[in-house]
Amino acid sequence: MCSHTKARRHEGKNLIVYLLRDFAPSCEISFLTNTNTVNGLVNLLMTLNETELTQSTQICPFHHARLPLPSGLRAMPALGPSWWNNPNMSGLINTFHGRSFRWLNQFVSYFMEWRTKHSISTASTPQVNAGVRHPNTPSQKLVKSIVAMNDPIYRREFDAHKLMAAYPPRLNNHNKQVVFEMSSPRGANHSGKISVARWRQMPLPDAFSRNTTCPKFELREDYFTYDSNTHERCDWYLNFAHYDLFCAYGGPLFAQDEMQVTEHPALGSLRHALLDSGDDPLTVENGVATPILIMGVERRCVVATDINRDEGRPYGLYGNHFSRASEQAIRQATRILNPPTTSNIIAMEAPACGNGRYTREQIEYVLSTTFTGFRAAVYESRRNVSQQVQTAIHTGYWGCGAYGGNRELMPLLQMIAACCSDIDVLIFHTGGDSRGYAQSVKTFAEILPTDVNMNTSDLLARIEGIGYTWGVSDGN
């Protein structure tokens, strides 16, 4: 056996030992010293796949992303809940032999969701026997890094009223101060809990495929309307973020990011609370995407940005026009929501201001960022609502305004990410200009036909071969 094969087999065993040691339900840990019984974890996966997963499509990334289960897994019989006591299981190490980092990540993603569904706490897990050694080898570090990708960098929860009292928004623009005083007058009650989680960039799956029913793609020729959440569906809205989250919310600009914070004033407070606690509010760090997801933030007002000469906004209020408008025009454009609604936000930054043709690296980065944000939304929805809740993402021409992104490529990559991230609905808001989205839909059908499993490398090559070029910043 070559040294590479031995190394891959060792990594596979390390992964299982690590998962069972830190995340498995309470049971005799001594079985880890027995290779045959460690192999039983594979049977656990098949048991879940053949029972729960045939009745529900809410758990397994293998199922949703249509990544093929290894032949060794498919061939194994289901043995029931006492799988760890069965000495006849084999094939675990072979199952992991030759599998890529991305495949291992999908495996761990499955395991972590299974752990969450069954309320398995690491605190109740028994300690490993003294005779079982887990040296800090490079393989063990790899295992830990894979597991870490399926948990956020940090997760925090804030009481909305205490948050606003301790960290009132810091507004340097008069018109934004006017809106804030209207939506959050002195003595106003800010209710609910706000949760925030920062996720590290996840590896893409080895292959992509799609079917005709899930996810559902929906076109809306408007801007975000912030639909109410239900117990059946959790709606998320993109924040077209800067890498330094909400850094310009108090200034004169009124682009998508700043509009969102103006209508959801606790987002500004949240930035200062994170900074004060030492949690970096960064959506990109050292060139790696780290989307930030926020649940349960109040939307307290609606600011109209359309052109309306009779109400004092002949050029609308979007972008730089907001700060130039009169106070009276701002007051007329602001409608207070009583009671406030609540929104869920995915903040992630697109690449900015490139030129010429998109490179393969740029395309893969956008796809990875989008996949991470969408997949994290699924995790957070199931964690905070229920395992059965549907996840809907509201998006638009992300990165196509001030950042100059291509208005056909950016929607296309979001559609592709939606196919493997387990979301149920992707709602694209075009703001009245659907040309880029319409062309993306056609290209999407051409490069990723229905029920075809396409290697990720080949898919990226196809997209690069189209020759998408960067656009021009709109100055907003």
Percentage of the chain lying above the pLDDT 90 cut: 54
Q: How many CB atoms lie within 10 A of CB 101?
A: 13
Task: List pLDDT tens digits, range 60-85.
Answer: 333 333 333 333 333 333 333 333 33
Task: List pLDDT tens digits, range 286-316.
Answer: 999 999 999 999 999 999 999 999 999 999 9
Amino acid, single-letter form, for residue 259: M
Model-wide pTM > 0.85: no
Residues 6+ apart with CB under 8 A from 227: 235, 394
Lowest mean pLDDT among 91-100, 299-308, 321-330, 344-353: 91-100
Domain coordinates in residue numbering, the chain? 3-148, 158-466
Q: What is 158-466's CATH topology?
A: Leucine Aminopeptidase, subunit E; domain 1 (3.40.220)
Q: How many CB atoms lie within 10 A of CB 31?
A: 15
Closest by CA position to 198, among listed 131, 277, 312: 277
Amino acid, single-letter form, for residue 277: S
Local structure of residue 70 (DSSP, 8 states)? P
Does residue 142 carry a pLDDT above 80? no
158 vs 42: CA distance, rounded Å: 39
Does residue 102 carry a pLDDT above 70? no
476 vs 460: CA distance, rounded Å: 30
- 148, containing H or E segment: helix 138-148
